[in-house]
């Protein structure tokens, strides 16, 4: 099923069942790695809220969650400017931190956030992303867990939007060329 958002047409790219299967596998790996620990998951809003909810439902162990919000997109392009509208409100000194991202493309948002985190001396920091666009990376960001590597096409669905629309779709769609 194709969808139209604003002035663009999108076609199916990754089905919900594939997304859920990959999330379940990552949650199992994280549960094993953090057995007998209480990590703090930090979810990058708005896009990662679906991913965060589904991953944490499958995480088997004690954990805490916090949210931060950065914005870098306008329409289908990164603005190049990063603005933070919800900041870290939890003490992370000495904590095991797991950053949850919906998508890493240029890596600029994460590069900015990682610099902020360093000031608070966490014990460890891991990056978990549902989607990675390796060809778009402009910063030295190394994700520890990757759901899917994808091309540098614009996508929507499963929390990702195009000017506010499309987050609510269960599948991920790619812009039709």
| Residue 32 appears among annotated catalytic residues | no
Q: Given the DSSP bridges, would you call strands 124-132 and 96-104 parallel, antiparallel or unpaired?
A: parallel
Active-site position among 105, 140, 144, 171: 105
Secondary structure of 41-102 as H, E, C letters: EEEEECCCHHHHHHHHHHCCCCCEEEEEEEEEEECCEEEEEEEEEECCCCCCCCCEEEEEEE
Q: Hey, which residues are catalytic here? A: 105
């Amino acid at each position: 099923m194709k969808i139209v958002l604003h002035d663009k047409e999108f076609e199916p790219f990754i089905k919900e069942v594939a997304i859920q299967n990959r999330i379940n596998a990552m949650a199992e790996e994280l549960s094993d790695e953090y057995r007998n620990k209480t990590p703090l998951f930090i979810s990058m809003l708005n896009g990662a809220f679906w991913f965060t909810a589904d991953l944490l439902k499958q995480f088997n162990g004690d954990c805490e969650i916090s949210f931060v919000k950065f914005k870098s997109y306008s329409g289908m392009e990164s603005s190049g400017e990063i603005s933070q509208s919800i900041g870290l409100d939890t003490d992370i000194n000495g904590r095991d931190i797991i950053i949850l991202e919906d998508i890493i493309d240029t890596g600029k948002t994460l590069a900015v956030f990682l610099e902020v985190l360093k000031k608070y001396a966490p014990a460890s920091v891991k990056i978990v992303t549902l989607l990675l666009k390796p060809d778009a990376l402009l910063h030295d960001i190394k994700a520890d867990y990757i759901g899917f590597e994808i091309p540098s096409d614009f996508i929507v669905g499963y929390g990702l939007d195009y000017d506010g629309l499309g987050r609510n779709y269960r599948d991920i769609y790619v812009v039709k060329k």
